[in-house]
Amino acid sequence: MFGHEVDIIITIERTYTPLLRRPAYPESPKSREAPEIHIKELLDLGVIRNGDNNAEVEITTPVIVAWHNGKYRMVGDLRALNTYTVPDSYPIQKIQISLTQISQAVYISTMYALEGFHQNVVTPRARKYLRIIVHCGVYEYLRMPFGIKNEPSHFQRMMNEIFPEELSEGWLIIYIDDTLVCSGTLKEHIYRLSRFFNGIKSVKMRISLKKSHFGFKELKALGHVVFGLSLGIDKKKVAAVLLKPMPQNKTKSYTVFEKTVDRVKAFESLRKALTTAPLLLVPEFKLPFKLYIDASGDGLGSELHQLQIINDKPVEGPICFRSRQIKPTEARYGESQMECLCLVWALEKLN
């Protein structure tokens, strides 16, 4: 059986109600076929097993079948169970901190765990909480399903326990089921990849080769386009903004809508600004920073900049942007108070 033998404990914080003992959802003839196929796949993989017909079934979770582009996805509707589950506060590193670690990297590889959350084992005493019900029977999860409350914490803990030395050395970045290997030279990169592969091999984990990329100088990772000292915008993230048409009607009955040349230009300028964000520098904490702030009657804004040497030339560029709206009580501030408010707020956000 694939995967890492890490037990998962689900702790119910109070007596659960009949809401957790529910029948299967009604299904159309088309949707009835999907669970049968998926159930067989999960049985063959050892992810689930048939429920004990002689045991008292206290909790049953119906499944939802979602269709998209002719393909189906079956997931358990675990919302009721999640409301009774004690939260797991295991720390997960912020994406911005992970991106900062990539600075100075010339070669980057990204790996994704194959059916990531299924690579955790559920303790026998927790299996009674993870029973799904479909028209063809009751089944019990042996491995962590998708959709339970604490699954990101469980998976992060598992990965951190597998690679403690690699994480402490700083070249391995793990964000739940996303893994990055960073290096300065190709030889070093190959060596570090071999260490990573030896680690996952030792615990019988699998990665998705289809979603993994090896030895690139520029690639998409953690929602950003990463290349050396800079972070770029992922075009897929702004595709919806690019396709957004200009408004064609008024939003208030007493407002006259006029589609003028100036308004069309203003709309196009705004859309361009939103979809062509500047490259973000990865901070060098040994160098000084520059903080630019601005406040108005509508909001606060700040930009953190730094002067770095890139390609033997000094370049000042942004590291991050922050903004927020003015609160009603703050709208009464004078100009000096507003600027001070903006400075204090910006420093608190960066702390």
User: Residue 91 belongs to a domain with what CATH number?
Assistant: 3.10.10.10
Cα–Cα distance, 195 to 182 (Å, whole number): 12
Is residue 107 situated within a structural domain?
yes
Q: Looking at residue 304, what is its pLDDT?
A: 92
Residues 24 and 57 in one domain: yes
Q: Which domain holds residue 51?
A: 4-216
Is residue 226 situated within a structural domain?
no
Is residue 117 situated within a structural domain?
yes
Residues 110 and 209 in one domain: yes
Tokens of 346: 């910006």
pLDDT in tens, 154-203: 888 888 888 999 988 888 888 887 888 988 899 999 999 999 999 888 88
Q: Give SS3 for 162.
A: helix
Q: Looking at residue 1, what is its pLDDT?
A: 46
Residues 130 and 14 in one domain: yes
Residues 41 and 152 in one domain: yes
| Rg over CA atoms, the chain | 26
Residues 298 and 159 in one domain: no
Is residue 222 situated within a structural domain?
no
* Cβ-contact 141, 132 below 8 angstroms: yes
Using alpha carbons, select from 202, 174, 201, 184 the residue that is nearest to residue 110.
174
* Cβ-contact 222, 101 below 8 angstroms: no
* Cβ-contact 222, 243 below 8 angstroms: no
Residues 39 and 101 in one domain: yes
User: What is 77-101 written as a DSSP string?
Assistant: --HHHHHTBPP-------HHHHHHH
Residues 149 and 244 in one domain: no
Cα–Cα distance, 296 to 236 (Å, whole number): 32
**Helices first, then strands: H and E counts in the chain:** 9, 18
Q: Looking at residue 14, what is its pLDDT?
A: 60
Tell me the pTM.
0.63
Is residue 223 situated within a structural domain?
no
Intervals of the chain under pLDDT 50: 1-2, 5
How many residues are recorded in the chain? 351
Residues 119 and 180 in one domain: yes
Residues 191 and 243 in one domain: no
Is residue 307 situated within a structural domain?
yes
Residues 269 and 288 in one domain: no
Residues 72 and 170 in one domain: yes
Is residue 190 situated within a structural domain?
yes
Q: Looking at residue 299, what is its pLDDT?
A: 92
pLDDT in tens, 136-151: 788 888 888 888 888 8
Is residue 193 situated within a structural domain?
yes
Cα–Cα distance, 197 to 193 (Å, whole number): 6
State the CATH number of the domain containing residue 322: 3.10.20.370
| Count of domains observed in the chain | 3
Using alpha carbons, select from 347, 333, 349 the residue that is nearest to residue 298.
333
Q: Looking at residue 88, what is its pLDDT?
A: 80
Residues 63 and 110 in one domain: yes
Q: Looking at residue 290, what is its pLDDT?
A: 93
Q: Looking at residue 74, what is its pLDDT?
A: 74
Cα–Cα distance, 211 to 226 (Å, whole number): 16
